[in-house]
Amino acid sequence: MSVSFEVAAAEVRDALTDASRGLVEREAMVELVALSAVAGEHLLVVGPPGTAKSEAVRRTARGLGGAYFEYLLGRFTEPSEIFGPVDLRKLREGLVETETAGMLPEAEVAFLDEVFLGSTAILNTLLGLLNERTFRRGHTRMQCPLRVCVGASNALPEDDALAAFADRFLARIFVEPVPDPRLEELLEGGASLWADAAPRVASLASLDVVAQAARRADLGPVRPHLAQALRTLRAAGIALSDRRAVKVQRLVAAAAALAGRTTPGVADLWPLVYAVPTKEAQALARDVLRDVLSASENLALPAAALEASAGPLARAQRIAQAGHVLLESRPVDVDAVAAWRLKLEGVAREMDAGFAPEALPETLRALRGAVAAVLAEEASTRAA
């Protein structure tokens, strides 16, 4: 049975909400995996070991559904470990064919850790797979169902040959260890990942419906704004290759589709920041594009939109999402109520500190009233 665009987008949004729960400071990464999957592009994650890169991708892949492949590459990794072994029966007949069952060529979501440590043979084969979704090895030729490949590395490569390979990953996000003020959240969130609560899973059919909507999106109205943003980046010394400039339109269309919009607008330009190649250049891009990014907002990808833009609408959506999750998870245990109340008070303070009462966005007005009512009720209960 076919799924409508609205239902499909909502299903993917719900799956992402569950996938990011408990992953402190990795919500944007989860959302970018989905954004890249809808756009048909690939994501590079750069950050030190032990920063939950693989966990974030694994949970997102589980939420999106489909076949998943994960591997840690090393200097001595053989192509057969990634693409599958040679079929010995066919080899006796003089044919070099690969058994791809359960390997990367048959995956829909893939995660390759330490991706730049792969041998020349692996990287050359990966190029065709990433660019054309085609696997070629010996006599084997096959189309691959890959939606998105996430590559991870501790740092960007300095070798020119590897830099050319890295350019195939259109979107990039740079992650750091969780900062000191959020260590309590890290410990609590990490412990919650051990639970066996079944997350909501979006079907690949729903993902395809959203991807088709992104491919059909009318980019005409937003294209002049995107071109002007690219000129602004060039003027600041941030040069995107022509290929990246053209392909970023796919990310813009995918962001709009995931938000439930069939026509992208200025609110959907924020993925441009993630197409900028280096961490330093991304920080500069946020600064020089501050005015255009102030309109950024995305109900499905609030953390990614906020991290890219630091815009008020995106910030309001992120606060609203956190507040609603807290209101829906009111604990029964008396000992847990105090900690829950402190978090709720933190949401209220963040709203008050970030927005004047007369400038409170619509998404926060009802939430502010609900939070105030719950906190008043709690205070009354404690007084009694």
pLDDT of residue 181: 65
pLDDT of residue 381: 74
308 by Cβ neighbours in 10 Å (0-12 / 13-18 / 19+) ranks as buried
Give CA separation, 372 vs 247, 375, 377, 379, in Å. 45, 5, 9, 10
pLDDT of residue 327: 85
Q: How confident is residue 311, by pLDDT bands cut at 50, 70 and 90?
A: low
- First-to-final CA distance of the chain: 55
pTM of the model: 0.82
3-class secondary-structure state, position 68: strand
Dist CA 333 CA 28 (whole Å): 31
The tokens describing 134, both together, are 């085609």
353 by Cβ neighbours in 10 Å (0-12 / 13-18 / 19+) ranks as exposed
CA atoms within 13 A on the CB side of 24: 16
Cβ-Cβ contacts under 8 Å for 194 (sequence gap 6 or more):
none
H/E segment holding residue 143 = strand 140-143
Q: Which one is predicted more confidently, 194 or 54?
A: 54
Q: Provide the CA 94 distance to its chain's centre, in angstroms.
A: 44
pLDDT of residue 272: 97
pLDDT of residue 60: 92
pLDDT of residue 198: 58
Dihedral (CA of 27, 109, 171, 119) sign: positive
Asked whether residue 7 carries a pLDDT value surpassing 80, the answer given is yes
Dist CA 247 CA 256 (whole Å): 15
Place of tokens 């927005």: 355
Average the pLDDT over each of 146-150, 173-177, 312-316 and give the range with the smallest value.
Answer: 312-316
Asked whether residue 103 carries a pLDDT value surpassing 80, the answer given is yes
Asked whether residue 331 carries a pLDDT value surpassing 90, the answer given is no
48 by Cβ neighbours in 10 Å (0-12 / 13-18 / 19+) ranks as exposed
Alpha-carbon radius of gyration of the chain: 22
Mean pLDDT of the chain: 88
Asked whether residue 194 carries a pLDDT value surpassing 80, the answer given is no
pLDDT of residue 383: 67
pLDDT of residue 374: 82
Span 278-298, average pLDDT: 93
pLDDT of residue 344: 82
CA nearest to 36, candidates 206, 170, 201: 170
pLDDT for 64-94, tens place per residue? 888 999 999 999 999 999 999 887 777 777 7
Span 98-115, average pLDDT: 94
H/E segment holding residue 351 = helix 334-354
Span 110-125, average pLDDT: 94
The DSSP secondary-structure symbol of 235 reads H
pLDDT for 134-171, tens place per residue? 998 888 889 999 999 999 999 999 888 888 889 999 99
Q: How confident is residue 354, by pLDDT bands cut at 50, 70 and 90?
A: low
Dist CA 82 CA 110 (whole Å): 11
How do beta strands 148-153 and 43-46 pair? parallel
The DSSP secondary-structure symbol of 85 reads -
Asked whether residue 101 carries a pLDDT value surpassing 60, the answer given is yes
Percent of the chain with pLDDT strictly greater than 90: 53
Span 196-225, average pLDDT: 87
Task: Give phi and psi for 24, each to the nearest 5.
Answer: -70, 130
Dist CA 248 CA 205 (whole Å): 24
The tokens describing 103, both together, are 């390997």
pLDDT for 269-284, tens place per residue? 999 999 999 999 999 9
pLDDT for 227-256, tens place per residue? 999 999 999 999 899 999 999 999 999 999
H/E segment holding residue 43 = strand 43-46
Q: Provide the CA 358 distance to its chain's centre, in angstroms.
A: 33
Asked whether residue 212 carries a pLDDT value surpassing 60, the answer given is yes
Q: How confident is residue 357, by pLDDT bands cut at 50, 70 and 90?
A: confident
Q: How confident is residue 197, by pLDDT bands cut at 50, 70 and 90?
A: low
Q: How confident is residue 314, by pLDDT bands cut at 50, 70 and 90?
A: low
pLDDT of residue 31: 95
State which amino acid sits at residue 61.
A
Task: Give phi and psi for 43, each to the nearest 5.
Answer: -120, 135
